[in-house]
Amino acid sequence: DSGVTQTPKHLITATGQRVTLRCSPRSGDLSVYWYQQSLDQGLQFLIQYYNGEERAKGNILERFSAQQFPDLHSELNLSSLELGDSALYFCASSVAGVNTEAFFGQGTRLTVV
């Protein structure tokens, strides 16, 4: 158990809908990362937050948004869902970010039908 909790584990939704994925980092970790993993694109970095502030942004679509709350949990919002958004979404956390390892949650498997 990495200490990072992601909910829900599985999500099936229709095209055009909006979903929210939740991540609770390990106790004491200030940095949260979001990744999308699909078979054809590999593990894609989406966005990173550090202590509530956005730190780095990757190939995150405009239909996607995220935030980190004062209690350090984070949410990834995916809207106007398309079939191609079906993927595993991982959250990871680390103490600081640069010189430390990241701990991954078990992921949320999103299926858009």
Partner 1 sequence: SQQGEEDPQALSIQEGENATMNCSYKTSINNLQWYRQNSGRGLVHLILIRSNEREKHSGRLRVTLDTSKKSSSLLITASRAADTASYFCATIVLGGTSYGKLTFGQGTILTVHP
- Closer to partner 1 by Cβ: residue 62 or 101: 101
State which residue, 45 or 65, has the beta carbon closest to partner 1. Answer: 45
Residue 91 CB, shortest distance to partner 1, in Å, is 9
Q: Kindly state the tokens that stand for 83.
A: 């079939």
For 34-95, the DSSP string reads EEEEETTTEEEEEEEEETTEEEEE-S--TTEEEEE-TTS-EEEEE-S--GGG-EEEEEEEES
Kindly state the DSSP code that residue 4 receives in the 8-state scheme. Answer: -
Task: Return residues touching partner 1 (CB under 8 A).
Answer: 2, 4, 31, 33, 35, 42-43, 45, 48, 50, 55-58, 88, 90, 92, 97-107, 109
Task: Return the number of the residue (37 or 67) whose C-beta is nearest partner 1.
Answer: 37
